[in-house]
A and B are shown apart, each in its own frame.
Chain A
Amino acid sequence: QQPVQSPQAVILREGEDAVINCSSSKALYSVHWYRQKHGEAPVFLMILLKGGEQKGHEKISASFNEKKQQSSLYLTASQLSYSGTYFCGTVEEYGNKLVFGAGTILRVKS
């Protein structure tokens, strides 16, 4: 079951904040976040596990609401380098298949 991401695209100015959301209709074990810059491979940002454990980069902030099967990625004081497509991936409870959403295109302008 592919997770649903919102918004589909967002344009920011440098220094502004953004939130990218990811939701699933299935009970989740973990949520994963990746960023892909144009012409490059996706790069790992964070894993959020059921129970509260998080693995990822210190400068990235995200939340995982286990009751609502929702996750949000928080991008604060955005920089030009934040531009790219953000993908959330989910692993269902009792499953071990990582399925990605359609992505959110983020563009930061100077």
Chain B
Amino acid sequence: KAGVTQTPRYLIKTRGQQVTLSCSPISGHRSVSWYQQTPGQGLQFLFEYFSETQRNKGNFPGRFSGRQFSNSRSEMNVSTLELGDSALYLCASSLAGTDYEQYFGPGTRLTVT
């Protein structure tokens, strides 16, 4: 079956701009989580969506937001970009949450200049 897809794969933005990243989960998966990965920081949890509802949120400022659609596809938005937002953003899908294997997408590499 098709894996998790993320678009775009690479993105260059300027400070102050906003960006929207997209994630299409594996068919049948209802949970989508987002992570920020930077060197030395590991995978920092952003939020998890399940059946169109945000179920969990990490310790990120309100500039980071997301949503999930009825087909389980998810988008993540970052407003007023800062240099420190440069990172690899990974989404992961699972059948129903943390009791299940998380399937990660290839990520979107965001560079803020």
Contacts and interface: CB of A to CB of B under 8 A. Distances in A.
B98 A97 contact: yes
A84 interface: no
Nearest to B4: A41
Contact of B99 (A30, A97, A101): A30
A41 B98 contact: no
Nearest to A8: B40
Interface residues of B, number: 26
A97 B97 CA distance: 9
Interface stretch (B13-21, B42-50, B64-72, B75-83): B42-50
B42 A97 contact: no
B42 A102 contact: yes
B74 interface: no
A25 to B, nearest CB: 16
Residue among A2, A34, A96, A98 having the largest count of chain B Cβ atoms under 10 Å: A98
A55 B102 contact: no
Interface of B: 4, 33, 35, 40-45, 48, 55-56, 58, 90, 92, 97-107
